[in-house]
Structure 1
Amino acid sequence: MSRNNASRPAPSRRAFLRGALAAGGLGLSAAPLTRLFARSMASRVVPGYGPLRPVADEVTGLELLSLPEGFRYRSFSWAGEALADGTPCPGRHDGMGVVAVEGEVVTLVRNHEQTALTGAFGHAECHYDPACSGGTTTLRYDLAKGEVVEAWASLSGTMQNCAGGVTPWNSWLSCEEFVVNAGALPDSAPARFERDHGFVFEVPASGRSKAVALRDMGQFRHEAASVHAPSGDVYLTEDLEPSAGFYRFVPREPGRLQAGGALYMLRARGHRDLRTGLRPGQRLAVEWVPIEHPDRGFDAQRKSISGVHDQGLAAGASRFTRLEGCIATDQGVYFTATNGGDEAAGQVFCYHPESQELSLVFESSPDSMLHYPDNVCLSPRGGLVICQDSPERVQHLHGLTPDGGLFRFAGNQARLDGFRGFTGDFSGAEWAGACFSPDGRWLFANLYAPGISVAITGPWQEGLI
């Protein structure tokens, strides 16, 4: 069964979704990115904003980042800082998004990719499984003051909250990258799981999440979730290797994910394996195969966490590998395969909803500057910001311009000697959670370890990021 002939949301609902995106101040034009579909791109290094140099943090005085000339930053919400209720802020800062704006104050929701069974944090109202330590924190950040004015636990009792995405109705989708069923007792664990895991949770811009697993969106190793505003469909990546799926969730009521819906997995006609053998600019016709049992991802007998993925493959879906970042615009849905491609060093794809085609936007080669792309976000100046998670000694934020130019924008230089209790060289820790303030002046991002968020600003230029 193909998703192609399924009914679309009513025009009035589509208008609402577009309006909600604009009203929240979170909509960014993607028009320049259409050039990415129109041409075949080889890896091409461009100057970008210029060479990187160590820059001192305006808050701590430490040289945590390297940036181009003229750019500056402020760190905030380090792991261990007290939240509103006195709870220490968890570490492992991962996916993040701007979900609301009020004057100079923006609201960010940030994932914490915790995997220990050491107990939920924050208020019990937002707990899903009391043994689990993953979840989200919500931060109100004052752009004028350059500081957090309020921070609280908004979801907890989940596991390995990796990425996710902002919705047009001003909430955050937090995704679990950990699949297990209730009753499991891992070796040497202090507690057993009381709930099934491997789901997406919705977190509001204010207050706390009700910690309801959106089971129809699938039980698998979720990475990112991004809403295509014109349709209300949600696109989801699966961080699984050596084989992973790209998914589409079609809600019964666009904008109300709790009402359920149908899950589908991408099939490229004539191409069952998309991990290798493609060329940049190549376009493939796409269909969508249904997942009959989206909440059956864990098979205790086989000790398998790929139940949803296996259903899709059995129905003819195509294989990717280690899918991670995902960002939807009106014109296209961009997503990354961190170790995909002929060199197993990374791919960037775009799915085109109107034509129902898939194209390979970028593939890393041995001489590429970028290896192992992860989280992505759209820039108001026309390009993509790509977070790196690679075996390299120093991790970078990269920019991909609308005409295919690639450049390094920021380097992780965090080396600490007891500051706030952290000691070590953290420059190899991944970047995550990149997102812009609605006015485009500030780029927020996370250093996964030891757990630091930063706000970067400077002499931005059109056509870059």
Structure 2
Amino acid sequence: MDRRTVLRATVAGGAAAFSGSLWAGAAVAAPAQPGPSPYGSLRTADGNGIQLPTGFTSRVIARSRQTVSGTSYTWHDAPDGGACFVAGAGWIYVSNSEITPGGGASAVRFNADGSIASAYRILSNTNQNCAGGATPWGTWLSCEEVSRGYVYETYPQGGTAAVRRAVMGRFKHEAAACDPDRRVIYLTEDESNGCFYRFRPNSWGNLAAGTLEVLVAGSATSGPVTWARVSDPDGSPTLTRSQVSGAKRFNGGEGCWYDDGTCWFTTKGDNRVWAYDAVNQRIDLAYDDSLVSGTAPLTGVDNITGAGSGDLYVAEDGGNMEINVITPAGVVAPFLRITGQSSSEICGPAFSPDGTRFYFSSQRGTSGSSSGGITYEVRGPFR
């Protein structure tokens, strides 16, 4: 996967795409280029096989088919999308399981000092749970990456059964991101001719009823967009992506992250990061692997998350097993690299609620199989 990659800030008329966010000060006159990481260069691999900048350390949180330390719970196969939630004085990290059948999602609860308090299952008997997204009301949307798959609303705190939210559409779901300002949820679709959707709940905080819409635009990579209602979210007999004429096609929708008026989402088929400006209703190509000559630091774009600094963190599916940081100043650089796991992919990047700890998984670990997944934590001087 030696493809060229670069972060691209919007240019000329597209500059408004980042207005009102931490990206508003980005240089918009030209595509940004790879440059020095705000954290410095990567050191040699630590005992866990992870290369990190100076001042950062890693630890293993869980391994597939092994009990989570200090608990009796066996961690799931193929850990994928994840997110963190406040839990009293501590927090919870939730992780999907991308296997069929079985799938589902698990959670690890941490004490205030970072020690593991417990681990448990929050979703069972589903299929190929890939990514998803956290809601402002503290639930985790776990998405099935299968044809006419469902979104399941799960409860990280435990003790409450997950609920299937069929009204959010049946398609090959990937990720979700909540926009509390417009009270909608954005959804990506992992198809080579997939779409970008938004779900409008009738009542914010209640996903039992609402309207599914699809983004409509021309073939250009930037410009104004509109939204059109998907008349049959069930996708049968006509698939959701085939119901609206003019729906914009995206090549393999993956990660999705909303912050301060912008929803960032990735497409793995063409190694791009897109920026949907929800304020001005336009899209722009924020990242494209064909815009840099020579070797780019980031290939195989996949899961994405953000930090309070405005930095984006993009995980690689393949590539050289890195998570790259993309700064508002237009710099793309490696933040970490996993060594000795070339047959895996990095999934589920998420920060703890206070922003001091960073979680992610290697889906297949050193074995290259779903039973070899490893979930990690990184600590250090995050900005």
What band does the TM-score fall into relative to the shorter chain?
0.7 to 0.9
Query: How far is 1:284 from its partner?
Result: 0.7
Query: How far is 1:82 from its partner?
Result: 2.9
Q: Report the CA distance shift for 1:199/1:240 in structure 2 as closer, same or farther (over 3 A).
A: same
The counterpart of 1:153, out of the listed 115, 121, 124, is 121
Cα RMSD (Å) of the superposition? Answer: 2.1
- TM-score norm. by structure 1 comes to 0.72
Pairing 1:53-132 to 2, within 5 Å after superposition: 53-56=43-46, 62-82=47-67, 86=72, 88-103=74-89, 105-115=90-100, 132=101
- Regions of 4+ moved over 4 Å: 36-40, 83-87
Aligned counterparts of 2:308 and 2:214: Cα–Cα separation in 1: 30
Aligned counterparts of 2:327 and 2:131: Cα–Cα separation in 1: 23
Letter in 2 for 1:41: P
CA contact (8 A) 1:239 1:324 kept: yes
Q: Report the CA distance shift for 1:165/1:36 in structure 2 as closer, same or farther (over 3 A).
A: farther
| The structure with more helix, counted as a fraction of residues | 1
2:377 aligned with 1:455, yes or no?
Answer: yes
Pairing 1:35-434 to 2, within 5 Å after superposition: 35-36=25-26, 38=28, 40-56=30-46, 62-82=47-67, 86=72, 88-103=74-89, 105-115=90-100, 132-142=101-111, 144=113, 146-179=114-147, 198-241=149-192, 243-258=193-208, 260-268=209-217, 271=218, 273=219, 278=221, 283-296=222-235, 307-312=239-244, 315-340=245-270, 346-365=271-290, 367=294, 368-390=296-318, 392=319, 394-413=320-339, 415=340, 426-434=341-349
Q: Which has the higher relative contact order, 1 or 2, with Cα contacts under 8 A spaced 6 or more apart?
A: 2
Aligned counterparts of 1:206 and 1:63: Cα–Cα separation in 2: 29
2:17 aligned with 1:32, yes or no?
Answer: no
Letter in 1 for 2:328: P
Aligned counterparts of 1:101 and 1:386: Cα–Cα separation in 2: 26
CA contact (8 A) 1:223 1:239 kept: yes
Query: How far is 1:216 from its partner?
Result: 1.2
Q: Report the CA distance shift for 1:332/1:38 in structure 2 as closer, same or farther (over 3 A).
A: farther
CA offset digits 1:36-75 (Å, max 9, x no partner): 595542433333322222343xxxxx33211112210111
Query: How far is 1:427 from its partner?
Result: 3.6
Aligned counterparts of 2:185 and 2:333: Cα–Cα separation in 1: 30
Query: How far is 1:109 from its partner?
Result: 1.4
Q: Report the CA distance shift for 1:47/1:87 in structure 2 as closer, same or farther (over 3 A).
A: closer
| The structure with more strand, counted as a fraction of residues | 2
In structure 2, runs of 5+ residues without a counterpart are 1-19, 365-371
Identity across matched positions, percent: 31
CA contact (8 A) 2:301 2:316 kept: yes
CA offset digits 1:282-338 (Å, max 9, x no partner): x411101111111125x5xxxxxx8111113xx221111101010112311110111
CA offset digits 1:337-379 (Å, max 9, x no partner): 1122xxxxx1111111111111111111253221221111111
Q: Report the CA distance shift for 1:87/1:255 in structure 2 as closer, same or farther (over 3 A).
A: same
Aligned counterparts of 1:207 and 1:234: Cα–Cα separation in 2: 23
CA offset digits 1:7-57 (Å, max 9, x no partner): xxxxxxxxxxxxxxxxxxxxxxx942233595542433333322222343x
Task: Describe the SS at the equivalent of 2:241.
Answer: helix
Aligned counterparts of 1:108 and 1:203: Cα–Cα separation in 2: 13
In structure 1, runs of 5+ residues without a counterpart are 1-29, 57-61, 116-131, 180-196, 300-305, 341-345, 416-425
- TM-score norm. by structure 2 comes to 0.86
Letter in 2 for 1:235: Y
Instruction: Compare CA radii of gyration and give the structure with the larger one.
Output: 1
The count of corresponding residues between Structure 1 and Structure 2 is 353
